[in-house]
Every structure is written in C-alpha cells, then in structure tokens.
Structure 1
Amino acid sequence: MASIKTRNEILQYDLRYHGVRIRESSGLKTNRENKRLCEAKLRKILAEIDIGIFDPVDHFPNSKKLRKIFGVESCDAEVEPSISFETFAEQWFVEKRVEWRYSYMKTIRGTIDKYLIPTFGETPVEEITKAQILEFRVTLAQLAGKSAASTMSPSRINHIMTPLRMIMVEAADRYGFVSPWQNIKPLKEPRVQVEPFSFDEVKQILRRVRQDYRTYYIVRFLTGLRSSEVDGLKWEYVDFDRKQILVREALVQRRMVPTKTDGSMRDIDMNSMVLDALARHKRGAEGCSEYVFASSTGQPYSNRYVTRCIWYPLLKQLGLKARRPYQTRHTAATLWLASGESPEWIARQMGHTTTEMLFRVYSRYVPNLTRQDGSAFEKLLAARFSRSGSERHDFLRDKSLLKTHLNGI
C-alpha cells in the first residue's frame, strides 16, 4: 500500500516496486499544501507503475540506494561510494567524545572495539538490516556473563546495543536512508536489588570495622554519598561551620570528574555523629592529603582494595549477607525515611530531583511510612469526633452512625 508518511517533520514516500520497498524523502516540510503536492506525485508514480514506465531513479535522482538496486551504477552518473560501519563509527566517536565524561568515553570505546566493529565492521551502514541487529543481540545473550555459569545480563546487552542504535540513527539521518532500528525495544531488566542494612547491622559494622576505616563507613552509612563521591571527597568540600559536605566532584576510574548530573551537585547536612567523626579524623590527618580518605601516600582510597580487603571480609566475619558497598547509600535513605524525615529533604540529600524514586524504591522497607489498612483514617475520625470510652468505641463500630456523622461534616 503506497502512502505519504512523516519522518522528522519531513514528508516521505512509502511504496513497493518489484518487491522492493521504496522509502524516500520528499524534502518538503509537513503541512497541508506540501502533502497535496506529494499525493499528486504519488498518484503519478502509481500510474507509471501500472503502465510499466516507472523509473525510480528518475523520480528520486539523489537516492544512492535506488541507483544501486536498479542497476544505475553502470551508467555515467556519479555515485558516492558507500561508507563502512567501521569508518562511520570511528567518525561518530570522534565527534561525540567531546560531550562525554572520560569513564563513559572509555566504556563506549571498549564496546565499539570489542563488539560492534568485529560484527559490522566492513558492512556499508545502509546495508545493515534489522534482522542483522536482532541476530547480533541474540549472539550477545549467549555470551558468558560475570561468572562462567551465567550468560550476559539484559542490562549489559542493553548497554552494548545503545551505541549501536546511536550510530545507526545518526548514519541514517546523515546519509538519507531509513534506519533499521525500527521497533527494537531494550530487553526488560530485572529491578535493582535494594538490600539496605538494618540499624542494628549498621551498629555491628561500625563497632567491628578497623579503626582506621571507621570514619569512612560512618560517612558512607549516614550521608548517602555514592562510592565515587565519598572516595573523591576533599577537605575543601567539608564545611565544618555550616555542618555540610559539598558534593562537587567524584573519583571515577582514578580520575576526578564533575558530579554525575547537575542534581548530584548538592550540599549534604552532616548529623552530629558524622560531624564529630570527621573532626577527629581531620585532626589525625592534618596536612597529609587533600583527600579526606587517603592512603599513606596521600592518594585516595582504592575502591577495589577497600571492597575486597575490608568490606567483604568484615561482613563475613559478622555473619552478614554479602552486599555491594553501594547498599550503604540505600541504607541511609531507608534510615532517614524510617526516622520520619521529610521525603523532599531526603531527595535533596540523595541528589534526586524529585521524591518519586524514594517512594518507588525504598517505601517497602518502611512499613509505617504509608498506612494502607485504614487505621490512619480511623485515628482521624477518633480525633475529629472526640468521645469517651464505650461511646467512642460504639461510634467507630457502628457503620450507620459513622455514615450519618460523615454526612454532617
């Protein structure tokens, strides 16, 4: 069925000829007048097809795809050579890397070199099909994951597919072909496991951890800082007068970089326990390093070393379930919620722009945060209609009387 469609606010012809789907841009912006012009041209095309005189290249002379399919390469017309996926991917990477943080750039570079170029390298970008992309994804799903007994996770696969999608969409836009990335949705990822520590578990950890790491874990458990934020924390960002930690930088892959997002740049209020611990820590580390938590050489803690040599051995010694150090951030959120702190305040401390994530991720760990059994309304009624003894009891049990009083409010 031939039709006129819109793509990126430009009218596009969509029809089939000799089993080939022709989707070509009209170059006209979407409006009523231009659509009438395109419809008139489409009627002419269909009439030419009916009487056998239709020449695709005559109607779409700038289409390299049609020139190639319908054998125009042999004529004297100049046809630009196709660009391979590898060549375009390298060009795209150079153009985009100025927008990215070093860690993200390194991740994308690794994905291109390890997965994308070996699969699509010499293939012209306009010849890559949706079927090839889906086949590539199936291949990824069969590769080994973090352990030999598992396969690559949906999350990892989605992270590999993302730069492929970006490259193909940009190539299609730049070279005038229709991107094969049509209705390819990301794989469904399981919800992130949030396993915060209880208050008693936090106390056990802080009592038993090595003394030289106690302040480090006090800050992690009671401020909600991300691993990269606490590892890269500098003394210049600890404001003892205002009792705040200023989050301005993070340590990612041994490099100091700006915070993850604009929302991540925030001022965290220090409670008395954090304030006292950092004050003692500063007196013992005066002049040793610009970093709050540093080794004897003045360099910031190695997250890998601390995790493997301090964190997991401590949990094992205490008989606690092994959990990633990032759970200290989740713990701070749940402890704040359980203590009745304002969700808006908690969101600011965590670096979230709204409270949506708090209630979506953490509320199930705080059973009294939101009552769902009607008891809160019952307490409101009891306070609103203050009665004594059995009279109040009978009032709350008698539904007909309750209805009468509610109608009178």
Structure 2
Amino acid sequence: MRMHFTVEGMRYRPTLMIDGEALAPTPANIKYANRLIIEICERIRTGTFIMREYFPDSDETTSPAELTVESWLIEWLTTLRIENSTRGGYDAAIKFWSRAPCDGKQRTLGLIPLRALKLSHILTAIASRPDLSGKTINNYVSVLRQAFTLAVTDKLLSTNLAEAVPRAKHQRQPADPFSRAESEAIIAEAAKVDPQIHNYIEFWFWTGLRTSELNGLDWRYVDLYGDAVSIERVLVGGEEKDRTKTAEARLVRLNSRSRAALKRQRAVTGLAGGRVFQDPRYSRPWHSEEAFLRVYWSRILKRLGIRYRRPYNMRHSYATSMLMAGMTPAFCAKQLGHTVEMFLRIYAKWIDGNQNDLETARLESALGTRAANGVSSG
C-alpha cells in the first residue's frame, strides 16, 4: 500500500512498511492507513510534519519540511568565513531564534519547519523578549535576514520573511567621557597600584586607541624618535589579527603624556620586544579586557568614588580633550581612525559647545542693531 500526499508543493508516495516488510492491503491495514493519512494531513496543515518520523525506512526521507529554522541557521553558519569575535555574535542570535517562543502552542521558532515559517512567528519571538534593546533585536534580525537570503537563493524559501520585520527603534548612547579632573585622578591612582597599570592607563587616556589596538600594540610599530605609533595589528577575543577594525593602518601622533608613558613602559617590556603592554600579575600580554576590568579598573574607580564607565570611555576623553584644545575635527578623526562624518556625529556636542555662545551673541548683536534702527522684530 502506498500513501499519496503533497508537502510544500512536492509529492510523496511512500510505501507503508513494518519491520522492513510492506503492509498487505487487509481490511485492518486499510483502516490503519486511513487513520494515518488523516493524521499526516493535519500535521502538514499545521507545519509540523516530519517525514522520517512516519517513514524512517523510506527512500524519500529528505522532505524539505524536515529542515527546521534552527537546523538551517546552523547549516548557514557553516558556510561563512568570519572572525571568531563575529561568530560569537552570530551564535548568540541563532541561540535566540532557536529558543524563542513563536506561537500560542508553546513551540519554539527553531523547531518550526523552514518552509512553514510565518512572519507572525518571527514577530512573536521578538515580542517575547521586551528586555532586549532595539540594537540587539536589529542585530538578531540581521542574522536571520542573511540566513534567509541564502535559503531563497538555494530555493528553500520563496521569500525572505525577515525583510518584512520593521527595524526596532533605539537611541545611540552618547559619548560619556571622563572630565579632565577625573582623568588625572584615575592616572594618579593607577600609579599607586602598579607601574605598568599606570603606563597602560595614561597611554590610553592620551592616545584614545581602541581596546583591540592598545592590547595588540607591538614595539616594532613604536617610533619614539618620530613621536608616533603605527596601528597595524589588533587583538580581538585573544586572537591577533594583522589588520585593524577599519582594515586600514594609521599613524597616531604622540603627545608629551603618551610619550612619557611609553618611555616608562619601554624599561619594562621594551628589551624583550613583542607586545608593549602586559598584565603585571603574570608578565604576559593582555588577552582580554575582562581581567583588567575586574582586577584593576573597577577597583580604581570605586576607590576614587568616580561614576563607573567602561575603559573605552578613555577614548572619548581623548577625543573631547583634543576638541576643547581647538584641534580640527579632521585631525582628531584621523587620530582615532574615524571618518570625519562619524567623528562629527559622535562628538558634535563638544564641537558646538564653545561655538554656540558665539553664534547666539552674533544674533543678539543683530537684534540690538535692528532695534537701534527702529526696526520692529515682530
């Protein structure tokens, strides 16, 4: 006896088997087959039919309905050549989509057959986590969109449902630099903790390097006589990369503070070569930010009573210090490895700060002139 049914446009005609033998068309077996086809049709209708559950010995066990959202996301991830740091973000997104509830039947989105997925499933999954920020949701949807783009290309899906998911609103957190007084207090406190921590923090405050650039800095890229360091390698997630975040090397000019910190550090690690900065507890290069945060940074801020901010905010502090010193945005952006456009978007508040009073004064002067000439402002 053969059963005939269609799943996602594909026809199947599996033979009913028990213990490797085809069922004979007896009245009892025909009744069994009728009950079975009713159950299968209902599973197909609800998008929960899996071929191998009913016909494990059939040659037609490759039904596209078996490919779930989770299994496709995992398969898609294996096609990518990405950095380990990027892979970690993708893994988090796949974990979210695999476990998020997607309907009133308490099913998770990951178990939904790929071709049975609906936009409502995705939206329900998102709505189940109101605690997630808009930025995180957008990142997760981006992963889903990329995976479904390949599924459409491979003709596993007819449309990319993730394209229809509206972007979640989120507000970019503004730069939150340390004040000059706070910066100097932190540097002074670091000097009491350990000479290398002192050098590390002062250099960070007065070069504004990214964490990955600072921890990946090698003595061969330091030119104390030319007053510059070349940023060509970075350290991300303990993995050294021979390119920067922007895939462009840049020259960072040294000032008296950053140069002094480097000269002190050269006496510690310069002779051995290799990485400039290291964890003083083990005399080994930093492999992540976590140890520095836990053992040194958090404790220094707590002792000083300074509001906690990530070490990355030392980069913001350097940017705003340059602006308040009257340096041009183009030079500042080059120092930080930003485009001028991005630099202006992040630090416009500090660029405008001193200029706003001047511009307002010009307006008031014009209004005063008009009043003196008897011209009404109404």
Q: Is the 8 A contact 1:154 1:189 kept in 2?
A: yes
Following superposition, the deviation at residue 278 of structure 1 comes to 0.5
Q: Helix, strand or coil: the match of 1:95?
A: coil
Q: Is the 8 A contact 2:144 2:162 kept in 1?
A: no
Report whether the alignment pairs 1:243 with 2:227. Answer: yes
With over 3 angstroms needed to count, the CA separation of the structure-2 counterparts of 1:345 and 1:244, relative to structure 1, is: same
Kindly provide the amino acid, as one letter, of the partner of residue 108 in structure 1: Y
Separation in structure 2 between the aligned mates of residue 159 and residue 88 of structure 1, nearest angstrom: 18
Aligned twin of 1:269: 253
Report whether the alignment pairs 1:134 with 2:119. Answer: no
Q: Helix, strand or coil: the match of 1:345?
A: helix
Kindly provide the amino acid, as one letter, of the partner of residue 127 in structure 1: A
Structure 1 residue aligned with 2:184, among 176, 199, 203?
203
Moved more, 79-88 or 298-307: 79-88
Q: Is the 8 A contact 1:64 1:79 kept in 2?
A: no
Kindly provide the amino acid, as one letter, of the partner of residue 299 in structure 1: R
Q: Is the 8 A contact 2:269 2:275 kept in 1?
A: no
Aligned twin of 1:178: 159
Aligned ranges 1:38-53 → 2 under 5 Å = none
Following superposition, the deviation at residue 232 of structure 1 comes to 1.8
Kindly provide the amino acid, as one letter, of the partner of residue 260 in structure 1: K
Following superposition, the deviation at residue 342 of structure 1 comes to 0.9
> Relative contact order (alpha carbons < 8 A, sep ≥ 6): 1 or 2 greater?
2
Aligned twin of 1:101: 83
Separation in structure 1 between the aligned mates of residue 118 and residue 357 of structure 2, nearest angstrom: 51
Following superposition, the deviation at residue 349 of structure 1 comes to 0.9
With over 3 angstroms needed to count, the CA separation of the structure-2 counterparts of 1:181 and 1:277, relative to structure 1, is: closer
Deviations 1:166-204 (A, max 9, x none): 112221232150222243122112321421111122111
Q: Is the 8 A contact 2:217 2:233 kept in 1?
A: yes
Aligned twin of 1:260: 245
Aligned twin of 1:387: none
Deviations 1:123-182 (A, max 9, x none): 3322211000111111233xxxxxxxxx33333333333212211222123215022224
Q: Percent identity?
A: 26
Aligned ranges 1:10-409 → 2 under 5 Å = 65=8, 67=9, 73=12, 81-82=63-64, 83-96=67-80, 98=81, 100-112=82-94, 114-118=95-99, 119-141=108-130, 151-175=131-155, 177-209=158-190, 210=193, 211-257=195-241, 258-263=243-248, 265-288=249-272, 290-295=274-279, 297-301=282-286, 302-353=288-339, 355-365=340-350, 368-371=353-356, 374=359, 377=362, 397-399=368-370
Q: Helix, strand or coil: the match of 1:268?
A: strand
Separation in structure 2 between the aligned mates of residue 352 and residue 95 of structure 1, nearest angstrom: 31
Separation in structure 1 between the aligned mates of residue 183 and residue 13 of structure 2, nearest angstrom: 76
Q: Is the 8 A contact 2:265 2:277 kept in 1?
A: no
Deviations 1:50-74 (A, max 9, x none): xxxxxxxxxxxxx984x35xxx556
Kindly provide the amino acid, as one letter, of the partner of residue 246 in structure 2: T
Deviations 1:263-321 (A, max 9, x none): 5x321111122112202220233334511111354421342121122112111211211
> Which TM-score applies when normalising by structure 2?
0.72
Kindly provide the amino acid, as one letter, of the partner of residue 338 in structure 2: H
With over 3 angstroms needed to count, the CA separation of the structure-2 counterparts of 1:110 and 1:289, relative to structure 1, is: farther
Deviations 1:368-409 (A, max 9, x none): 443366357479x9xxxxxxxxxxxxx9943288899xxxxx
Kindly provide the amino acid, as one letter, of the partner of residue 273 in structure 1: R
Q: Helix, strand or coil: the match of 2:136?
A: helix
Q: Helix, strand or coil: the match of 1:187?
A: coil
Aligned twin of 2:25: none
Q: Is the 8 A contact 2:229 2:251 kept in 1?
A: yes
Following superposition, the deviation at residue 347 of structure 1 comes to 0.7
Q: Helix, strand or coil: the match of 1:217?
A: helix
Q: Is the 8 A contact 1:244 1:269 kept in 2?
A: yes
Which sections of structure 1, spanning at least 5 residues, go unmatched? 1-62, 142-150, 382-394, 405-409
Following superposition, the deviation at residue 251 of structure 1 comes to 1.6
Which sections of structure 2, spanning at least 5 residues, go unmatched? 1-5, 15-59, 100-107
Separation in structure 2 between the aligned mates of residue 312 and residue 178 of structure 1, nearest angstrom: 49
Q: Is the 8 A contact 2:174 2:346 kept in 1?
A: no
With over 3 angstroms needed to count, the CA separation of the structure-2 counterparts of 1:318 and 1:366, relative to structure 1, is: farther
RMSD, matched Cα = 3.1
Q: Is the 8 A contact 1:237 1:247 kept in 2?
A: yes
Kindly provide the amino acid, as one letter, of the partner of residue 114 in structure 2: V
Q: Helix, strand or coil: the match of 2:206?
A: helix
With over 3 angstroms needed to count, the CA separation of the structure-2 counterparts of 1:181 and 1:313, relative to structure 1, is: same
Deviations 1:193-236 (A, max 9, x none): 42111112211111221233111111111111011211221111
Aligned twin of 1:49: none
With over 3 angstroms needed to count, the CA separation of the structure-2 counterparts of 1:204 and 1:64, relative to structure 1, is: same
Following superposition, the deviation at residue 238 of structure 1 comes to 1.1
Q: Helix, strand or coil: the match of 2:88?
A: helix
Following superposition, the deviation at residue 81 of structure 1 comes to 2.7
Aligned twin of 1:36: none
> Which TM-score applies when normalising by structure 1?
0.67
Separation in structure 1 between the aligned mates of residue 332 and residue 210 of structure 2, nearest angstrom: 14
